[in-house]
Homo-oligomer: A and B are copies of this chain.
Amino acid sequence: MDFKTDFKPLTVQPQEIEGKSFEMITEELGEHPFTDRQYPVVQRVIHASADFELGRSMVFHPDAIEAGIKAIRAGQPLVADVQMIQAGVSKDRLKRFGMDVNVYISDPDVMEEAKRLNTTRAIISMRKAIRQAEGGIYAIGNAPTALLELIRLVKSGEAKPGLIIGMPVGFVSAAESKDELRKLDIPFITNIGRKGGSTIVVAAVNALSLMAAREE
């Protein structure tokens, strides 16, 4: 079909577009180091970014996929660092499992505490999150400081997330925060380098919730 001369493709359904995209991704990616369980997450991340380099840079803790699916089936909460993730995840599907999606970064008590301690709202939002969402999935796509604080809380024994999806994007501390995450021996999904972001984290969450739904 030629988009330059007519608009027939406009009647194509989103499901068809997604199926065709996924075929193209598998074909272009070729050989890769991911297991059959990890690949659906990588595929959806590439779908959301059109970035094979980013997809190839992903790293999974060996228990990550099963831990994520388990947390979803148990209806554990999803904690996100920013509202964009909350807006992007398939909330209807998560709700069917009883999952809430929580973002604390704009809560008045978080803003007040951050000001008082002269630190970032992202950091304080993680301190609030671990009191309210133990065992949940932590999805961080924006704030390296949130991920670094969560790692600190895991190391100190204060936090026990079911899964950390840590893929903040950026030039200051983003890559370093992910280097730290990869050293933890708890379930994580991350990537190497500066790239990442809310749409990437949303893709990973949606891939996991789809796996959880399909395997019921």
Does A87 belong to the interface (CB within 8 Å)? yes
CA distance A169 to B118 in the complex (A): 38
Interface of chain A: mostly helix, strand, loop or mixed: helix
Does A206 belong to the interface (CB within 8 Å)? no
**With known contacts A87-B87, A199-B199, A50–B171 Cβ distance under 8 A:** yes
A195/B49 in contact, CB under 8 A: yes
CA distance A58 to B25 in the complex (A): 23
B84/A199 in contact, CB under 8 A: yes
Determine how many copies of this chain the complex contains: 2
Does A63 belong to the interface (CB within 8 Å)? no
Which residues of B sit under 8 angstroms from A193, Cβ to Cβ?
A: 50
Does A112 belong to the interface (CB within 8 Å)? no
Which residues of B sit under 8 angstroms from A195, Cβ to Cβ?
A: 49-51
A-B contact list, 15 entries, CB within 8 Å: A7-B149, A12-B120, A25-B171, A47-B171, A49-B195, A50-B171, A50-B193, A50-B196, A51-B51, A82-B87, A84-B198, A87-B88, A88-B198, A198-B198, A198-B199
